[in-house]
Amino acid sequence: MAEELPHRHATLDEVAALAGVSRSVASRVINNAPHVSRAKRESVGKAIRKLGYVPNPKARALATRQAGAAALVISRDDPEVLTDPFFGQLIAGVAGALEEADLHMMMCVAATPRGRERVEQLVRSRAVDGVMLTASHEDDPLARIAEEGPLPVVFGGRPVDFEPRWYVDIDNVGGAREATEHLLARGRTRVVTICGPQDTEVARSRHRGYREAMTLAGLTPRPPETGDFSEAAGAAAMTRLLEAHPDLDGVVAANDNMAAGALRALRGAGRSVPGDVAVVGFDDLAVAQLTDPPLTTIHQPIRDLGREMARMLVGVVAGRSAGPLILPTHLVKRSST
């Protein structure tokens, strides 16, 4: 005997649950949108018939505007950025979360004015349901274009010059503070830092964490040297720091690549690590385990960063409320300290 259907109207969430798919997939099936497998369409159809679901006209009108895709935009001038292991992990996190939501991923590297123009056209044409924007710099035109455009935008890392509605970031201040405090606890009192580009919030925040730890310990923060997050920049910055502060006994680098360069420069200058100088990086990328000695570093959950960016965007597109999210870091001790 067939089960009696309830008298109240079934909801889209109930259809999705019975069909074993996400809400966004159920919505796209109902609205005959692309990018849904035949099996999922059949499951949703069976659930609709069993529950007697009738689409809400207003919700249906909104859903028909969905494109079934989201864009990850990396705002960097160097197209080689995709070879950086950081972005490899970030992309993997984004892709996994979008796959869970049955959304396609479109990726853009805005390395030229023409690239930025294409991203602007993408945003304004509504070719995607939303945008994730990362690696933005101060006065980045893409950040403003995305923020003022018609689509929801989730930022990976807070921009320098304004507070967006939706972003996911790492506790950069707390991580750099912990790195510095670790060196101080090891008896290092002449600690210097290698910062990233100061037109990025991530670099400014990590420098702030170093300054806070030094000040709280009653020590005067030393002027930093700055690099572009590359190993070569770290080596060059370390050489300059040795010239300016020959008595230094500890280094906090803003990422692992620059820390690896610092280790190379220290070796070239005849300084032993950690005997003469202790070094801490930031990221906990694979390079941290391959340096000589292996690098003490701050672990940041890069894949989780990408995953949470995508999940936040999916939620916003679906009409759920969301706010900024800060992910924690922790120290990973190895032989460089």
Q: What pTM was estimated for this model as a whole?
A: 0.79
The pLDDT value given to residue 97? 95
pLDDT band at 11 (very low <50, low <70, confident <90, very high): confident
The pLDDT value given to residue 34? 59
What pLDDT digit, counting tens, does each position of 140-191 carry?
A: 888 877 777 788 999 999 988 888 889 999 999 999 999 999 999 999 999 9
CA distance 333 to 337: 8
Mean of the per-residue pLDDT values of the chain = 88
DSSP, residue by residue, 148-217: HSSS-EEEES--SS---SSEEEE-HHHHHHHHHHHHHHTT--SEEEEE--TTSHHHHHHHHHHHHHHHHT
The pLDDT value given to residue 127? 82
Chain position carrying tokens 């649950």: 17
Say if residue 64's pLDDT is above 50. Answer: no
pLDDT band at 287 (very low <50, low <70, confident <90, very high): very high
138 vs 190, which has greater pLDDT? 190
Residue type present at position 192:
V
pLDDT band at 59 (very low <50, low <70, confident <90, very high): low
Core vs surface per residue 209-245: b (16+ CB within 10 A) or e: bbbbbbeeeeeebbebbbbebbbebbbbbbbebbeee
pLDDT band at 115 (very low <50, low <70, confident <90, very high): confident
Say if residue 123's pLDDT is above 70. Answer: yes
What pLDDT digit, counting tens, does each position of 23-53 carry?
A: 778 877 887 665 678 888 899 989 988 888 8
Say if residue 77's pLDDT is above 70. Answer: no
User: Do the Cβ atoms of 107 and 74 come closer than 8 Å?
Assistant: yes
SS3 131: strand
Helices 141-148 and 113-125: angle between axes, nearest 10 degrees: 10
Tokens of 211: 């300054």
CA distance 132 to 128: 11
pLDDT band at 62 (very low <50, low <70, confident <90, very high): very low
8 vs 136, which has greater pLDDT? 136
Q: Tell me which residue of 239, 253, 314, 308 sits closest to 25, measured CA to CA.
A: 314
CA distance 334 to 316: 40
Peptide bond into 34 cis (omega under 30): no
- Worst-scoring range by mean pLDDT, 60-69, 160-169, 194-203? 60-69
The pLDDT value given to residue 261? 98
In the CATH scheme, what architecture does the domain 69-170+302-327 have?
3-Layer(aba) Sandwich (3.40)
Mean pLDDT of 82-103: 90
Tokens of 66: 């969905």
The pLDDT value given to residue 122? 80
Q: Where along the chain do its domains lie?
A: 12-63, 69-170+302-327, 172-299
Domain 12-63 CATH assignment equals 1.10.260.40: yes
Say if residue 1's pLDDT is above 50. Answer: no
> Are 69-170+302-327 and 172-299 in the same CATH fold?
yes
The pLDDT value given to residue 124? 77
pLDDT band at 2 (very low <50, low <70, confident <90, very high): very low
The pLDDT value given to residue 65? 52
Fold adopted by 172-299: Rossmann fold (3.40.50)
What pLDDT digit, counting tens, does each position of 222-281 carry?
A: 999 999 999 999 999 999 999 999 999 999 999 999 999 999 999 999 999 999 999 999
- Look at strands 296-299 and 278-283 and give their pairing: parallel
